[in-house]
Amino acid sequence: MAQVAILTVNEKDSLVGQKYDSVSYFNPIQDCNDDWIISKEEIDANIYSEFDWLYDLALSDYCPKPVPPITGDTGDFLGE
């Protein structure tokens, strides 16, 4: 199972728009509990010392948000 670190809102805000390597940006998302998280891979790939505090965060198993069911007209796109 994928490992993630739970972030506070302030921690999440400090990562938005920031790179963890020369080309990739942190991508905090919300999990099934509406907690902000980042992946272990993002933490492991970090090359910037200003984000070394990420290594101190506890890891847990990723719990994805449920995918909402598709609703609405399921008819033919051509209107037939």
Residue with tokens 């199972």, as numbered in its chain: 1
Q: How many domains does the structure of the chain reveal?
A: 1
Q: Is residue 77 part of a domain?
A: no
63-69: list long-range contacts, CB under 8 Å, 24+ apart.
63/31, 63/32, 63/33, 64/31, 64/32, 65/30, 65/31, 65/32, 66/32
Q: Is residue 80 part of a domain?
A: no
Q: Is residue 31 part of a domain?
A: yes
Q: Is residue 52 part of a domain?
A: yes
- Res. 78 pLDDT band, cuts 50 70 90: low
Q: Is residue 48 part of a domain?
A: yes
| Residue range(s) defining the domain that contains residue 48 | 3-61
Q: Is residue 74 part of a domain?
A: no
Q: Is residue 45 part of a domain?
A: yes
2-52: pLDDT as tens digits = 999 999 999 999 999 999 999 999 999 999 999 999 999 999 999 999 999
